Structure 1
Amino acid sequence: MNKIGIRELFGLIKSIYLNRDTGLLVCKFPAGKRLICFINGNIRYARSGVEGEQLGQFLVKGGFLDEKSLKFHLEDAKASGNRFGQYLCDNKIVSEAHIKETVKKLVQHIVIRPFFEEIDDIDFENKKISLDPALMLEISTGNILLECIREIDNPRFIENVFEENRDSVPTFMDNPMLLFQKVSLTPEEGFIFSRIDGHLTMGDIEKISSMSRDRFVKILYGLHLIGLIDFSQSQDSSFYEEARKDVMDNIMEQAEPGMEESAGNSIPELTEKQEAFVNEVFAFYEDLERINFYQLLDVAQEEEIFQIKRNYYKLMKRYHPDRFTGEQFSAIAGKLDEIVSRLTEAYQTLKDEDTRKAYDMKLKKNQKETPLEAEGRRISKSEIAFRDALFYVSQGRFSEGIEMLNRCIQLNPDDSRFYLELGKLQIDNPMWVKRAEENLLKSLELDQNSLESYEALGRLYVKMGRNE
């Protein structure tokens, strides 16, 4: 156990978060002990021995119980052998929704207090955590770090951070697990993040921010804590050209309500689009063991590293576990972790010249591909491209969807679905009417029983003024 200051505490929590560690953090204070449970770097539960930091007291603060009834119900719950929250729900004293809401506030309070109190001792133990699902929460450690740094009142700390990094160049972290994480930035934080270009120093950005030094440093240090930026001297400009738009789009999307914020007892039903994605994840997960790293990243074996990196970022954004944290996605949570782990393993192997050569030799030695295996690989690549095409269309990125569908057809010209989706996208463009007809007719040629192809072709002919 070690004494720890505010900067060391931030560093410890940052390390747990960025390394996606699982374990128990024990904080000792003069007033008592607080325990925080992390699973894959995010906060899942916390409890406190500090007076006033128990569920009962927080329910009283929230107006759900009074002091007199609290004492009675605590004794009754103890006699029944049930957890206090479960006892209150079972006896309809407090609704499950209000219990969950209060527990979340309590856990957030327990986690945040160490940043504002003197700590006697602190220790983190990496260990497997077994939690009752009823107790498990979804709290972003990134958002907690941001909230704490926003509220810190420590001028000396702020000045030290600035002086140490004044001439450093803030750059994006070269890690899509961090760049595409789910965090909630304020408009000011989003603005500062948008100024990161791999060329401006911290001092340069402060000058154009028109913010107080206190606010500016808190924002930049907060972005550093959650792994969005690092401080270095330079970064390849081609990285910014390719990654910047996706990274900024992801940050802007965080303004939407979190998927985990569901009211009441029911688990939200999957939308049609979400159900399709869940099925896609299951299919991709089943492919992990049978396809090689090049197939996994959807690149040719002779592909340049730049394209490999580009595909890696695209796939990591699509399958990032932070995007699917609600209970309705519980069936794919572990599978997404495995997918991104395998994608990262593939990228780390192929980006280095020596490890890539060794991997290529292994492939050459172990894989004497039969015609049937080659056909399976070709179809697998077209399926990955088709998933990407449908994703682009769902996001309103139609030109990219059309480009990807054309690639699908090049990879596998015998799949009617590719022609159907391409024709549907072309129907509403007067310049592409002929192409739409050709693609829809080709779809029907390959699948004469496709009602969707007939319907799309009928819509096209109505637009053209034809009656057949």
Structure 2
Amino acid sequence: MNGKLNDHPLAELIREISSKGFSGTLRLEHERAKAVVYFENGQLIFAASNLRTLRLREYLKKRALVSETDLAGFADNCPDLHLARTLSAHGTLRQEDIDALLSTIVADTLRVALLWTEGSWDFNERARLDEQVRVTVDTSNLLREAAQRMPLTFVENRLRNPGETISRASGIATATNLLPAESFILSRLDAPIKLEELVASSGQGDLDANRIIYGLALGGLIKREYWQNAFRTDPARTTRELSVVDTGPTKVAVEGEPPAGRWTSPGEEPDLDAFLERMRHASSYYEVIDLPPIAEPTEIKNAYYALARLYHPDRFHLKSGTPLHNEISSAFARITQAYETLTDPNSRATYDQTLERSKKFAADAPKADKVGFVADSTDELGSETDDATTELGSAEYNFREGFGALQQGRNDAAMSHLATASRLAPHEARYRAYYGRVLATKEKTRRLAESEIQAAVKLEPANATYRTMLAELYFELKFPRRAQTELDQALALDPNNTSAQALLRKLENSRKVG
């Protein structure tokens, strides 16, 4: 069986071969580059390429694992497995080190070949790998990762039918390294849903949502109704889902059921009052997701997953524009930030250190003073305090820290401080506006930014700066009419507002280009 990669890319070939349990050799050609991938009963066991940078010899030299003298006895085109076997037999390298290096090379080879959208492929069931080698690679993660790097137009072409049914996969191991956007899309799959409906409820742009859905389908976490299959042959055994390889403890996720635990129960309905009351009193990321500081990454993921199912703002779209919906949106933005921080080891370590320092001064932290709006952005911070540590935990202190971080481009730090300020003083327009501005710096929280800036506008409707912020957000979200409406109001309030005038020029230029 053979074909073209633009019709059947490697990612889909791997998925299909794995799901049908085929054994054999898949050969790929892309211009002058070649790659070969070996399968045994659907399991990917080895891969290699003719690209010099992906050969074992190059990895050994770059990592200084073998001296030039030891490598001199091997020809430049010596097969990787022959070189590995010889080095192991001579005791030059330990077998476990060789196995780990081969796994790295296979993963790197696949990362390159998975992006080939032009070229040809050929699969031969009779051709098998002679060597007794079986590498371990996280195939599911590699396929999801590849989808994030494929051209958007190519991915869009793989999902041609908006009426196609998408559903949760059953009987698979739970992945622990999902992106927030991936976790949220999975949370929308309580029941099978049409592709166009899933995209509409994803909180992402159409192209970005398609990319995420395509990656989840390739990785075996969700099921598509229609695949453009390359093989017409029935599977040699009972079709199985692509197994999700995970380096940590795994749990089985049953289709249609949320992760087991204290956050969800069958038929659970969201208790908004209790949720919002808890969020109002939550003073740390751990309290936001309702977990202790010793929580494992898997617990954090499951907590976020459960909260997204119950309290994402899209579930309450009928209340859009109301103070309640604004509060829900603000609360979920804090949940997203908590998830992103606590699932990244470095960010979590830094946050834990900051949290520990804050506890030392919590008893002395004064309440936030009411500070009026100052139109000139250079005066937003007001006068510097003599002892910043005495204001730790207060809304004004966190606003000043967050505003300074935002001005310096330290968006993660800014988001943490401004979120705290907004929570402590939700009726302070400045806090809501600049929290919305920093939310807008990240694509996945950009829509949540709208609720925060809208809240600021409602608190101070005559503030041209906040209306300009909202107009800028709508411009970034590709809503030119909404942007123009807010901009007109901003210029009516302050005709000399430089930010509003700059945005007006952008809008006019975009119309000329369009």
TM-score by length of 2: 0.39
TM-score by length of 1: 0.43
